[in-house]
Amino acid sequence: MSTVRVNGVDLHVQVLTPTGVADPPTAVLLHGLATDSMASWYFTMAYPLVERGFRVVLLDLRGHGRSERPALGYALGDFVDDLDGLLDGPGPFLLLGNSFGGTVAFAYAARHPGKVSGVVSIESSPPTPVWFARLTNRLSQLAEAVSRPRTLVAVGAKRGARGTQRAQEAARLLAETSVREELPASRLPSRAQLQAITCPVLCLYGDRSHVVEMAPETQRLMPQAALRVFTGQKHSLLVDQPEDVRAAITSWMRTARLGGHDA
Amino acid sequence: MIPVDTPSVTAEVTRALQAVLGDFGADAPITPESTFRDDLGMESIDVVALAGRLQARYGAGVNLAQFVASLDVDSVRELRVGQLVDHIVLSMSAAGDRL
């Protein structure tokens, strides 16, 4: 089925395979923290990649979506271990990450530079101390927001009972697991390890999101990175502007000569 | 051989929906007219899980993931159970004709 046991945790995984392609390259789609799930990729980039001849792997990160939510194990390294356990074979893998998912992608690439053919980062940053300080802040703000009954009432009015349930699960991730302690205390890759990521990199940002402030440091660490800033867009760029995101990624893939073909 | 007539597929889709929604399923009964979002209250991650289950049941021939993934957020909201059933029945009988 669609549950895979990795590192002692049941992860919700979906694999989409192109028809009639022998030995297709693999693309892995990684979502963001707390309220996000594989769905934001599934309805935006998953099929366009299958049509380009990729085998597409989507997962719900531990503690998220329909994956198991263990009480402990939320340091950056735990998320990278899960990816390591899931991706067997020599690769190379094309990694696409939204928000925190992009950070996991860069961390995997820092651990296995030879196994990654490219990284697409949407509204994200490599795992640097400055970025982790921001993530820590963001986790506190989110924890505070979802602990207010008023927030749940507002979500319920907009998205119904099931939406409220999902918001409550994000609240439980923040309240009942170690994520707020372990993630900020994560051991981060060194600058040298991040600089050793030499594969093609594409970073997409919305100009109304503060994440774009991470762009200069990303460019210093990875001078090969192509950057695109979308006017008028927020942190929810992927979900809000799927067509523009799709166009930017496919044209970059063509330039970077990354596997797959034009559909 | 999996039965691919409309009543059998409807029953199968209903079972898969109940499994995906679990204890939090809508109180209203699941009918061909039920819409995914408004009647059944499904979140997008539930739709992904449903597609995965039905793909596993009916195989790659139904292109279910593609069918679902090709919908935008609004179309998913408006999608009715009967439309999904029709898609499966059509794809499976087309696949059968090719054999």
Contacts of B24 in chain A (CB under 8 A): 161-162, 165
Task: Report pLDDT digits (tens) over B5-15.
Answer: 999 999 999 99
Q: What is the pLDDT of residues A107-164, one digit of tens each?
A: 999 999 999 999 999 999 999 999 999 999 999 988 888 878 787 778 777 777 777 7
Residues of B with Cβ-Cβ distance to A34 under 8 angstroms? none
Asked if B41 lies within 8 A of A162 by C-beta distance, the reply is: yes
Q: Within a domain: residue A146? A: no
Interface test with B, best of A12, A13, A15, A16 (most B CBs within 10 A): A16
Would you tell me how many other CB atoms lie within 10 Å of the CB of residue A239? 19
- Look at residues A201, A196, A192, A149 and name the one whose alpha carbon lies nearest to residue A171: A149
The C-alpha angle A60, A65, A66, rounded to 5 degrees, equals: 85
pLDDT tens digits, one per residue of A197-238: 999 999 999 999 999 999 999 999 999 999 999 999 999 999
Q: Give yes or no for B49 touching A (CB within 8 A).
A: yes
A66 inside 8 A of chain B by CB: yes
Which pLDDT does position B23 carry in this prediction? 66
- How much is the pLDDT for A142? 86
The interface predicted TM-score (ipTM) is 0.80
Q: What is the pTM of this model?
A: 0.91
Angle at A147 between CA A145 and CA A30, to 5 degrees: 65
B45/A46 touch (CB, cutoff 8 Å), yes or no: no
Residue A168 lies in a domain: no
A162 and B CB contact within 8 Å: yes
pLDDT of B70 reads 72
- Does A63 lie at the interface with B, CB-CB under 8 angstroms? no
Whether A160 has its CB under 8 Å from any CB of chain B: the answer is yes
Which residues of B are less than 8 Å from A39 in CB distance? 43-45, 47-48
Centre a 10 Å sphere on the Cβ of residue A23 and count the other Cβ atoms it contains.
5
Report the number of distinct structural domains present in chain A. Answer: 1
Residue A84 clears pLDDT 70, i.e. is over it? yes
Is some CB atom of chain A closer than 8 A to the CB atom of B82?
no
B95 touching chain A per CB within 8 A: no
- Give the C-alpha separation, B82 to B1, whole Å: 22
**Domain annotation covers residue A263:** no
**Cα radius of gyration rounded to whole Å, chain B:** 13
Contacts of A2 in chain B (CB under 8 A): 49, 52-53, 56
- A154 occurs within a structural domain: no
Domain range for A6:
2-125+188-256
Q: What integer pLDDT is reported at residue A178 of this predicted model?
A: 96
Q: Cα(A106)–Cα(A201) distance, rounded to whole angstroms?
A: 10
| Residue B47 forms contact with A (CB below 8 Å) | yes
Per-residue exposure over A130-166, b if at least 16 CB sit within 10 Å of its own CB, e if not: ebbeebeebbeebbebbeeeebbeebeeebbebbbbb
Two tokens, residue A69: 């939510």
Show the 3-state SS of chain A.
CCEEEECCEEEEEEEECCCCCCCCCEEEEECCCCCCCCHHHHHHHHHHHHHCCCEEEEECCCCCCCCCCCCCCCCHHHHHHHHHHHCCCCCCEEEEEECHHHHHHHHHHHHCHHHEEEEEEECCCCCCHHHHHHHHHHHHHHHHHHHCHHHHHHHHHHHHHHHHHHHHHHHHHHHHCCHHHHCCCCCCCCHHHHHCCCCCEEEEEECCCHHHHHHHHHHHHCCCCEEEEECCCCCCHHHHCHHHHHHHHHHHHHHCCCCCCCC
Is A176 inside any structural domain? no
Closest chain B residue by Cα to residue A50: B66
- Chain A partners of B48 at a C-beta cutoff of 8 Å? 14, 37-39, 42, 58
* A68 is a domain residue: yes
In a domain, A32, yes or no: yes
CATH number at residue A250: 3.40.50.1820
Average pLDDT over every residue of A71-75: 98
Given this model, what pLDDT does residue B33 score? Answer: 93
Mean pLDDT of chain A: 93
Inspect the interface and report whether the beta carbons of B49 and A66 lie closer than 8 Å.
Answer: yes
Q: Tens of pLDDT along B6-64? A: 999 999 999 999 988 886 665 678 899 999 888 888 888 888 889 888 988 888 777 77
Residue A158 lies in a domain: no
Residue in chain B lying closest to A38 (CA): B45
